Amino acid sequence: MLRPPRHRVDPRARRWWTLQALLTFSGPALLAAAALLVLSALLFAGALPWLAPLVLAVLVVPALGYLWTMPRWRYRVHAWEVGEQAVYAAAGWYWRTRRIAPLSRVQTVDTVRGPLQQLCGLATVTVTTASTAGDVKIAGLRAADAEALADRIGAAAQLVRGDAT
């Protein structure tokens, strides 16, 4: 059996994922719900009895549910570990993926900090291999940790020659 990776990501990642949820789905959904309800209250008051439950069920509940569940669930799943031979990362929430790529097959190590991540002081380390199905992404690391991790993986990958396919 595969054991989970040793290290959790930074706790602030939850805040980052919450912001992400707000920007991508929950925020727009809640805004749309509010707009619909206000408009119908002002213009078609008669529609409210059936529109309000509909909006609640289709927009408000999923939006709040996603906002509440996704970051916590992700934080429980996301983890990483660099072993002697390979780098190992777990990610996702509903679909959980655990990926292991050997250091000898690493092609590049990228550290990316998006605007939201900069706000939270986080970074994502992406380890690419020659196959797109073999790229390992470790999201939500503390910025300083990410730098160190990228250096460490890069140094380990340097030891192996060849074109790593």
Partner 1 sequence: MTADDHTPWRTLDPRTLAVHCSWLGAPLGSLALTALATGGRLDARAWITLGAIAAVFAAVTAAGLITYRRTRYRVTADSFELRTGLFTRRQRAVPLHRVRNVDLTANPVQRLFGVTVLRAGTAGSGGGGSAGELRLEALSRPAAERLRAELLARAGADRHTDPLLASFDPRRLRFAPLTFWVFGGVFAVAGAAYRVLHGVGLEPWRIGFVRRAFEDFGDSALWLTIPLALLAIAAVGSVGAVVLYLENWWNYRLEWTDSATLGVRRGLLTTRAVAIERARLRGVVLREPLLLRAGGGATVRAVAGGLGDRDENRRRSAVLPPATRAEAVRVCGGILDGLAPDALPADRRLTPHPRRALRRRTLRGLLGVVLPVTLTLAVLGALLTPVLLYCAAGFALVAVPVVRALAHDAYRALGHAITGPLLLIRSGTFSRDTVALNRDAVLAWTFTDTPFSRRAGLVTATAAVAAGEDGYRVRDMSADEAADFADAATPGLIGEFLYRVP
| Residues of the shown chain interacting with partner 1 in the complex, contacts defined by CB under 8 A | 1-3, 5, 81, 83-86, 88, 92, 94-102, 105, 129-134, 136, 163-165
Please say which residue, 108 or 118, places its beta carbon nearer to partner 1.
Answer: 108
- CB of residue 101 vs partner 1: minimum separation in angstroms? 4
Mark residue 126 as left, alpha or beta (left: phi above 0; alpha: psi -120 to 50; beta: remaining).
beta
Which has the closest alpha carbon to 122: 20, 22, 28?
20
Please say which residue, 22 or 100, places its beta carbon nearer to partner 1.
Answer: 100
- CB of residue 85 vs partner 1: minimum separation in angstroms? 6
Q: What is the 3-class SS of 6-26, one letter each residue?
A: CEECCCCHHHHHHHHHHHHHH
- CB of residue 89 vs partner 1: minimum separation in angstroms? 10
- CB of residue 138 vs partner 1: minimum separation in angstroms? 14
**Which amino acid belongs to residue 158?**
Q
**Which amino acid belongs to residue 123?**
A
Mark residue 92 as left, alpha or beta (left: phi above 0; alpha: psi -120 to 50; beta: remaining).
left
Please say which residue, 38 or 54, places its beta carbon nearer to partner 1.
Answer: 54
